[in-house]
Amino acid sequence: MPTDFTGAKRITRRTRASALVSTAVIFISVAACSSDRQPEVTVAPTGSATATATGTATSTPTPTETPKPIPTTVGTPQAATPAFVASTGKTYFPPPPPRETAPPANNVGIARVYAPNLGLDHYVEVDNIINNEMESPRDGSYAVGFYPDFDRPGAGGNSVFSAHETWNHFQGPFYQLVGAKAGDEITIVMSDGRNLRYRVFSNVRYEVDSMPMAEILWPTKRPKGEEWLTMFTCGGRIVYGTNGFGEYLDRDVIIAKRIQ
């Protein structure tokens, strides 16, 4: 089920038909990482929550053989200290088949997210905050979601994106993002032809039930005038249901700063 996290500001958005569970006041939450096409798996997360941040819920398909949950270590970085999750083995998912139609255009001026060393070359769709919860990307296989409630790339501040790690038994757009290292570059391709370059400085895994969403979304440690890119995806431990689909217990949050 979706989980709520205390926030520093209230987000108000127009009502959408597919509203998700959330609290009535200053909370922003992330949708659960489970399949949209199969019943949800009810899971009680284990372990004490330490670091905190959650990205958009990514749908979690599993291979035909039901694998065991993948253990992981939950990071506890200091707010001003870059931190990186250790690379861990995980079940392999194949890439999805090529998209058969051209991606739809959006109205925010962001065309693609590009970082070939991280498997990123995906179009951008606009997602929203619905009842104070981050909406999951609708095109789970091919789209990276951008949240216009936050700053747009190139405008300064903190731009927020999310995408699925896996979707319907295939890799999602952020499948390789867990491998991001300090110094890796991510390019936001704008619709007007500009290429905005960002350099990764933080890659942290958090338990889904205890994330400091306010600090992640409105970072108090961001130097004045420095532009950040924050990306959410699911990762780490998975608990599988009898239907072959699972629920991620962790989230990976990658942060990069603008260099050009």
**Tens place of pLDDT per residue across the chain (260 aa):** 333 333 333 333 333 332 222 322 345 776 556 544 333 322 333 333 333 334 444 444 444 443 333 333 333 333 333 445 444 456 788 999 999 999 999 999 999 999 999 999 999 999 999 988 999 999 999 999 999 999 999 999 999 999 999 998 899 999 999 999 999 999 999 999 999 999 999 999 999 988 999 999 999 999 999 999 999 999 988 888 888 788 889 999 999 999 98
Predicted local confidence at residue 224, as pLDDT: 92
Quick one: tokens of 63?
Answer: 């291979």
> Rounded to whole angstroms, what are the CA distances from 211 to 23, 76, 97, 177, 243?
16, 11, 34, 19, 28
Strand partners, 30: 3, 134
Q: Which amino acid is at 247?
A: E
Predicted local confidence at residue 74, as pLDDT: 36
Predicted local confidence at residue 57, as pLDDT: 43
Predicted local confidence at residue 126, as pLDDT: 98
**Closest by CA position to 96, among listed 175, 180, 186:** 175
Quick one: tokens of 87?
Answer: 């690379």
Strand partners, 207: 250
Predicted local confidence at residue 30, as pLDDT: 66
What is the DSSP code string of 158-194?
Answer: EEEEE--SEETTEE-TTTTGGG--TT-EEEEEETTS-
Predicted local confidence at residue 28, as pLDDT: 74
Residue 27 CA to residue 260 CA, distance in Å, equals 33
With H, G, I as helix, E, B as strand and everything else as coil, classify residue 117. helix
Predicted local confidence at residue 89, as pLDDT: 53
Predicted local confidence at residue 260, as pLDDT: 86
Predicted local confidence at residue 40, as pLDDT: 30
Predicted local confidence at residue 34, as pLDDT: 53
Give the global pTM: 0.71
Domain boundaries, the chain: 3-97+104-258
Looking at domain 3-97+104-258, what is its CATH homologous superfamily? Answer: Sortase (2.40.260.10)
